Amino acid sequence: MTTTIEINKIEKSKISSVDFNNLPFGSVYSDHMFTCDYKNGEWQTPKIEPFGPISLNPSAKIFHYGQSIFEGMKAYKDADNNVMLFRPDQNWKRLNTSAKRLAIPEIPEEIFMDGLKTLLKIDSDWIPRKEGSSLYIRPFMFATGNGFHASPANEYKLIIATAPSGAYFGGKVKVLIEEKYARAANGGVGYAKAGGNYAAQFYPTQLAIEKGYNQVIWTDDNTHQFIEEAGAMNIFIRINDTLITSPTSDRILDGVTRKSILQIAEDNGIKTEVRKISVGEVIEAAKNGELKEMFGAGTAAVISPISGFGYQEEYYDLPVLENPYATKLKKLITDIQTNKTEDPYGWRVFI
């Protein structure tokens, strides 16, 4: 570790007030956060400080022009108290891909990784051991520089905050295939983890919830004929025994869970296809019984099975299978993440 970090620890830990057997997702925060400011054209000495409010000038550009990006990661603890991350290099790279697109300065790997690892060591008691729980890690960078001029800020902040968390979704979800709104367009920021991408989903999702659904299935912005993502996750569709997901593009996030699932599926004898998938193909497969499963894949929920979908006022139920790919793949990936099995890919990173 070569990064110098100023460390200011909390006086009294809050941990005794937390019920680790009933953790919500992302709303209980551990004692500390890692922060690093960018000013005068460079990243300053990073800090670890008590998790808490920050103060910004009302003209900070984050509030006006939305220069804000984030990542989602998890830390796990095995039965021997080893602490692990899953493919953290992928999150660091994608954070910088997002930074570039939003004209935010990129963060050096050393600051990000050393900061993250030091934070996890200091707050290691906050990493849950219970099956299905983990320490959700939220790195985010945003414009702190001031001014109403519509141009990139001259100052930024990186924060890495953590939240011991239980499951993201309670059970299976019902989804509505979107025909009017889009989450991303060609040439846009859909491939970046920009906060605004998620803000733009909230209203169409509210409309879907009013109709009795939990989430929206995003289709392409141009024709609304091709399936792209599931809520805030990538999507997988199983037709007969083939698992299909749409290719990454300007509009689709290069999900770490998505690409790991593709690799694990292939290596476990599940045929995969990365290709465009039309709404018509899915409807037809649903009608003739070939549509077996649909699920979302992302860091927070890992794999989120879909029980059925709506399209143009029709509802299509998915079958209840005895051994769904969703269950099998979720076990295979979480066993790697939590050190319950071999990791032939070298994805696990011990702290």
Using the contact rule CB under 6 A, the part of the chain among 83-91, 268-276, 293-301, 341-349 near ligand COI is 293-301
Of 30, 35, 118, 299, the one binding ligand COI (CB under 6 A) is 299
Q: What is the smallest separation between the CB atom of 322 and ligand COI, expressed in angstroms?
A: 27
Using the contact rule CB under 6 A, the part of the chain among 88-96, 114-122, 171-179, 292-300 near ligand COI is 292-300
- The letter for the amino acid at 246 is S
**β-sheet bridge partners, residue 230:** 217, 233
Site for ligand COI in 144-203 (CB under 6 A): 198
Q: What is the smallest separation between the CB atom of 45 and ligand COI, expressed in angstroms?
A: 29
Q: Does 270 bind ligand COI (CB under 6 A)?
A: no
Q: What is the smallest separation between the CB atom of 253 and ligand COI, expressed in angstroms?
A: 8
Answer positive or negative: Cα dihedral of 46, 50, 56, 60. positive
Please identify, using beta-carbon distances, which residue of 72 and 115 lies nearer to ligand COI.
72
Please identify, using beta-carbon distances, which residue of 33 and 232 lies nearer to ligand COI.
232
Of 163, 232, 237, 291, the one binding ligand COI (CB under 6 A) is 232
Q: Does 300 bind ligand COI (CB under 6 A)?
A: yes
* Residue 132 Ramachandran class (φ > 0 left, ψ -120 to 50 alpha, else beta): left
Q: What is the smallest separation between the CB atom of 162 and ligand COI, expressed in angstroms?
A: 13
Q: What is the smallest separation between the CB atom of 298 and ligand COI, expressed in angstroms?
A: 3
Q: What is the smallest separation between the CB atom of 161 and ligand COI, expressed in angstroms?
A: 13
Please identify, using beta-carbon distances, which residue of 38 and 295 lies nearer to ligand COI.
295
Q: What is the smallest separation between the CB atom of 294 and ligand COI, expressed in angstroms?
A: 17
Please identify, using beta-carbon distances, which residue of 58 and 170 lies nearer to ligand COI.
170
Site for ligand COI in 94-133 (CB under 6 A): none
Using the contact rule CB under 6 A, the part of the chain among 3-11, 86-94, 184-192, 294-302 near ligand COI is 294-302
Q: Does 140 bind ligand COI (CB under 6 A)?
A: no
In the complex, residue closest to ligand COI by CB = 72
Site for ligand COI in 68-87 (CB under 6 A): 72
Strands 242-245 and 233-239: antiparallel
Q: What is the smallest separation between the CB atom of 269 and ligand COI, expressed in angstroms?
A: 27
Q: What is the smallest separation between the CB atom of 21 and ligand COI, expressed in angstroms?
A: 22
Of 105, 298, 305, 324, the one binding ligand COI (CB under 6 A) is 298
Question: Which three-class secondary structure string do you get for the chain?
Answer: CCCCCEECCCCCCCHHHCCCCCCCCCCCCCCEEEEEEEECCEECCCEEEECCCCCCCCCEHHHHHCCEEECCEEEEECCCCCEEEECHHHHHHHHHHHHHHCCCCCCCHHHHHHHHHHHHHHCHHHCCCCCCCEEEEEEEEEECCECCCCCCCCCEEEEEEEEEECCCCCCCEEEEECCCCCCCCCCCCCCCCEHHHHHHHHHHHHHHHHCCCCEEEEECCCCCCEEEEECCEEEEEEECCEEEECCCECCECCCHHHHHHHHHHHHCCCEEEECCCEHHHHHHHHHCCCEEEEEEEECCCEEEEEEEEEECCEEEECCCCCCCHHHHHHHHHHHHHCCCCCCCCCCEEEC
Short-list 204, 213, 227, 219, CA closest to 172: 213
Please give the residue ranges that form the binding site for ligand COI (CB under 6 A).
72, 198, 232, 298-300
